[in-house]
């Protein structure tokens, strides 16, 4: 949807909760933010606590009738459910309310479709959309009724009569295209690994401040020309970024950002973006960024931790950064972690950043070994490899060669052991 040239769609959001649902109010609030990010405006909120979900409409008959009356009296364009609906449930609710229906998954896919910029990002979103359509073919009619707007964007045709065989052919084609993109990604990763620079990956909830922290690190690392896009909006940017920076203490690293997470992130989307997310598996350190000013900070933590667990990266050293402390004041931030190191900061506060860099440096050098090396003048290439990655504690040019005392990673200590004095 064009946010400036068109009237924003009027949306009512609906939440249905059973006893197993955690953080239901926060999830519904997040859904409202997602609607805003998609270009709609929430004009009504409904919720219902249930012992069990209704198989035909998810919510009970009385709530469906209440929803119908609200739609009729408030010129509602679209109903969006916080829970995932089957195609049949969508059809039944549409028929009962005479209004288009979408669920949380469809909404997130729509936002991703409008934000993806790179070829890989577009392919990944399209793959997720195809999987979503494949599971919603039976009964799903809402796309044909919307006639444009939230839920209708993205590459590919939107004809609901597209049969399963055709969708599966499209899925196979997109997967083949993604495999080609992955080959290029692996080549780039191999070239990057040749530099021997440690990789630090930023992960966390969308809008927690990952990009703001990255930009602050880029500024402090003298990379002013390469800042990333920042906007106070969920999923402001989908494209992962990679930058080389120099930390205080003269240590060079590669810093990467990833797509933000939300609670109940669609499985199809996690699978589609797996090639991007798997970059985290190659990190030397993971920085998990949280918005400390939000009441659902534990939800943010649990959501990201669950995805990191699925990616099998919990063995990688991790630093939890509780961001936006300037908005928290003196309040404590209630958070149960898994014994990671934790730093509280505001990206605007130099003192906070000093502590952050100190702790990050400690983690990066935790397994490092202090050693003394000596290079003949004809071994300049090996000496340059050290100087490109490390800042020696001592460096002396002597008559017969170059002496240095330096803190090396375990791997580099093994590589350069034959040069030890």
pLDDT at 313: 87
Q: What is the largest CA-CA distance in the chain?
A: 91
- Going 186 to 190 to 191 to 192, the CA torsion angle's sign is positive
Mean local confidence (pLDDT), 157-168:
66
pLDDT for the residue 277? 73
Measured in residues, the chain has a length of: 421
Closest CA to 207 of 126, 131, 293, 317: 293
pLDDT at residue 19, as a whole number: 76
Average pLDDT over residues 154-176: 72
Residue 260 has a pLDDT of 73
Tell me: pLDDT of 421 over 90: no
Residue 3 pLDDT class (50, 70, 90 cuts): very low
Distance CA 125, CA 275 (A): 12
pLDDT at residue 165, rounded to an integer = 83
**What is the per-residue pLDDT for 238?**
56
Model pLDDT, residue 237: 53
Among 89-93, 166-170, 267-271, 322-326, the minimum mean pLDDT is found in 267-271
Q: Is the pLDDT of residue 63 over 90?
A: yes
Backbone angles phi, psi at 10, to 5 degrees: -90, 120
In this prediction, what percent of the chain has a pLDDT beyond 70?
81
Given the structure tokens 């909006």, which residue do they identify?
Answer: 233
Confidence tier at 191 by pLDDT (50, 70, 90): low
pLDDT at 245: 84
- Domains along the chain? 10-146 (3.40.50.11060), 195-364 (3.40.50.300), 369-419 (no CATH)
Q: What mean pLDDT is predicted for residues 317-333?
A: 86
Confidence of residue 119 (pLDDT cuts 50, 70, 90): confident
The pLDDT of 183-189, averaged and rounded, is 73
Could you give the CA distance from residue 99 to residue 74 in angstroms, rounded to a whole number? Answer: 12
Instruction: Give the β-pairing of 241-247 and 251-257.
Output: antiparallel
On the question of pLDDT at 84 being above 60, the answer is: yes
* Per-residue pLDDT band at 150 (split at 50, 70, 90): low
Distance of alpha carbon 376 from alpha carbon 237, whole angstroms: 49
To the question of pTM greater than 0.85 for the whole model, the response is: no
Structure tokens belonging to residue 392 = 């020696």
Burial of 75 (0-12, 13-18, 19+ CB in 10 A): exposed
| Mean pLDDT lowest among 233-242, 283-292, 387-396 | 233-242
Summarize the confidence of residues 77-99 as an average pLDDT. Answer: 93
- Segment among 124-128, 176-180, 216-220, 387-391 with least mean pLDDT: 387-391
Q: For residue 420, what are the contacts with CB-CB under 8 A and spacing of at least 6?
A: 371, 372, 373, 374
**Residues 131-150, mean pLDDT to the nearest whole number:** 64
**Residue 159: per-residue pLDDT:** 52
**Of the candidates 321, 299, 326, which has an alpha carbon nearest to the alpha carbon of residue 214?**
321
Q: Is the pLDDT of residue 205 over 60?
A: yes
Among 95-99, 200-204, 249-253, which stretch is predicted with the lowest mean pLDDT?
249-253
Q: Please, how many CA atoms are within 13 Å of residue 24, restricted to the half-sphere of its CB?
A: 17
Give backbone dihedrals phi and psi of 357, rounded to 5 degrees, phi first: -65, -35
The mean-pLDDT minimum among 213-222, 264-273, 331-340, 398-407 falls in 264-273
d(CA 13, CA 421): 69
pLDDT tens string 332-389: 788 888 989 999 999 888 889 999 999 998 888 887 888 999 999 999 888 988 887 7
Residue with the larger pLDDT of the pair 388 and 31: 31
């Amino acid at each position: 949807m064009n946010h400036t040239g068109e009237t924003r769609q009027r949306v009512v959001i609906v939440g249905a909760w059973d006893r197993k649902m955690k953080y239901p109010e926060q999830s519904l609030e997040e859904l409202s933010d997602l609607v805003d990010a998609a270009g709609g405006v929430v004009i009504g909120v409904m919720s219902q606590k249930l012992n069990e979900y209704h198989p035909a409409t998810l919510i009970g008959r009385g709530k469906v009738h209440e929803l119908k009356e609200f739609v009729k009296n408030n010129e509602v364009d679209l109903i969006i459910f916080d829970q995932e609906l089957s195609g049949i449930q969508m059809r039944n609710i549409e028929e009962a309310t005479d209004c288009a229906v979408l669920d949380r998954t469809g909404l997130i896919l729509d936002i991703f479709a409008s934000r993806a910029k790179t070829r890989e990002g577009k392919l990944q979103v399209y793959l997720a959309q195809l999987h979503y359509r494949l599971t919603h073919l039976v009964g799903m009619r809402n796309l044909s009724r919307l006639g444009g707007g939230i839920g209708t964007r993205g590459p590919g045709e939107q004809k609901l009569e597209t049969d399963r065989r055709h969708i599966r052919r499209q899925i196979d084609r997109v997967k083949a295209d993604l495999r080609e993109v992955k080959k290029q990604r692996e080549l780039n990763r191999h070239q990057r690994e040749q530099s021997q620079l440690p990789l630090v990956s930023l992960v966390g909830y969308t809008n927690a401040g990952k990009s703001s922290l990255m930009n602050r690190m880029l500024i402090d690392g003298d990379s002013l020309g390469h800042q990333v896009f920042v906007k106070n909006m969920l999923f402001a940017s989908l494209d992962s970024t990679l930058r080389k920076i120099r930390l205080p203490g003269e240590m060079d690293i590669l810093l990467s950002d990833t797509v933000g997470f939300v609670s109940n992130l669609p499985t199809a989307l996690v699978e589609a973006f797996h090639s991007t997310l798997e970059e985290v598996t190659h990190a030397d350190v993971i920085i998990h960024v949280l918005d400390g000013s939000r009441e659902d900070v534990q939800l943010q933590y649990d959501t990201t931790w669950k995805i990191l667990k699925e990616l099998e990266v919990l063995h990688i050293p991790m630093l939890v950064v509780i961001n936006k402390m300037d908005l928290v004041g003196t309040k404590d931030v209630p958070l149960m972690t898994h014994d990671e190191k934790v730093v509280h900061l505001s990206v605007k506060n130099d003192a906070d950043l000093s502590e952050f860099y100190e702790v990050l440096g400690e983690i990066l050098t935790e397994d490092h070994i202090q050693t003394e090396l000596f290079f003949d003048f004809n071994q300049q290439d090996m000496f340059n490899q050290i100087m490109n990655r490390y800042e020696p504690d001592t460096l002396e040019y002597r008559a017969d060669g170059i002496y240095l005392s330096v803190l090396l990673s375990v791997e580099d200590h093994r590589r350069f052991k034959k040069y030890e004095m």
